[in-house]
Amino acid sequence: QVQLQESGPGLVKPSQTLSLTCTVSGGSITTNNKYWNWIRQPPGKGLEWIGSIGYTGRTTYSPSLKGRTSISRDTTNNQISLQLSSVTPEDTAVYYCARGHMDFAEYDSWGQGTQVTVSS
């Protein structure tokens, strides 16, 4: 049973960098053909895919966020990290990590999500 847990500061100031960590248990982030994603949901809006890192370590980002996004991994601690720079209040959302590929409907494991508020 794969479990994911997001962690990080719940409050970030505008222009700063949002940093989150997803700790994975019950499965290795290097397992073949598995992909690890970051998704967010702003208040009153739908889910937005941020980007992913695959089992080989290759990253892919949403075109709208590519310039500000960096996803990395720590294979020793089985963790996936997200950094989103130059944040604004529009980046306020619940942030999730999840395992899956392509459509959200295909994702087989989600973290509980963590609220991140961008405010001065």
Tell me the per-residue pLDDT of 49-68, one tens digit each, with 9 for 90 and over: 999 999 999 999 999 998 99
Phi, psi dihedrals of residue 12, rounded to the nearest 5°: -130, 140
Q: What is the mean pLDDT of the chain?
A: 97
Q: According to the model, what pLDDT value does residue 19 have?
A: 98
Binned at pLDDT 50, 70 and 90, residue 92 comes out as very high
- Identify which of 94, 85, 83, 66 has the alpha carbon closest to the alpha carbon of residue 19: 83
> Rounded to an integer, what distance in angstroms lies between the CA atom of residue 81 and that of residue 71?
6
> Rounded to an integer, what distance in angstroms lies between the CA atom of residue 54 and that of residue 30?
8
Are 12 and 87 in contact, with CB atoms under 8 Å apart?
A: yes
Q: According to the model, what pLDDT value does residue 102 have?
A: 85
Phi, psi dihedrals of residue 90, rounded to the nearest 5°: -70, -15
